[in-house]
Amino acid sequence: MAKQSNENARFILGKLMLEGTSDKVPKNDNKGLNWLKEAVKKGHIDALEYKTYWDIRFDRAPKLEKITANLEKVIETKKSTRACNTLAEFNHATGSSSLKNPNPEVKSAAEEKAKQAAKYYMMS
């Protein structure tokens, strides 16, 4: 029980430092990210989800494969509708532009992305 409490504290402290919404906790992006990373290393799923959305929004070079794997883990663990919608949007965006491509391999991959998008939309 104490271990989970420690990870919750790391997650909340990291989140507060990143958002800068507390009078008691000063805004500090570097320290906040470090607290989140520690909670993620210890298996805190909410910290993983929050850090993944932070990466999508603020990382200068987001790693799509890592983000996708993290979102799939969040969906598997806590059935997050937000994670489902995010993966659906990723699949929709990466596949829809290639549907009109005359190359059958590209078109087939795009159709698979469309199926994945539909799957995640239905799950959410």
Give the predicted TM-score (pTM) of the model: 0.85
Q: 84: domain range? A: 79-124
Q: Please identify, among 31, 63, 95, the residue that sits at the C-terminal boundary of a domain.
A: 63
Q: Is residue 57 part of a domain?
A: yes
Residues 13 and 42 both lie in one domain: yes
Amino acid, res. 50: Y
Cα distance between residue 7 and residue 18, in whole Å: 16
Q: In this structure, what is the dihedral angle of CA atoms 119, 88, 90, 99, given to the nearest 10 degrees? A: 60
Could you tell me if residue 36 is inside a domain? yes
Coil, helix or strand for 22?
coil
Are 2 and 55 within one domain? Answer: yes
Query: Does 58 lie in the same domain as 86?
Result: no
In a domain, 94, yes or no: yes
Q: Is the CB of residue 14 less than 8 Å from the CB of residue 32?
A: yes
Geometric angle at alpha carbon 25, from 83 and 80, rounded to 5°: 10
Q: What is the pLDDT along the chain (124 residues), one digit of tens a residue?
A: 566 789 999 999 999 999 999 899 999 999 999 999 999 999 999 999 999 999 999 999 999 999 999 999 999 999 999 999 999 999 888 877 666 667 778 778 888 888 999 999 999 8
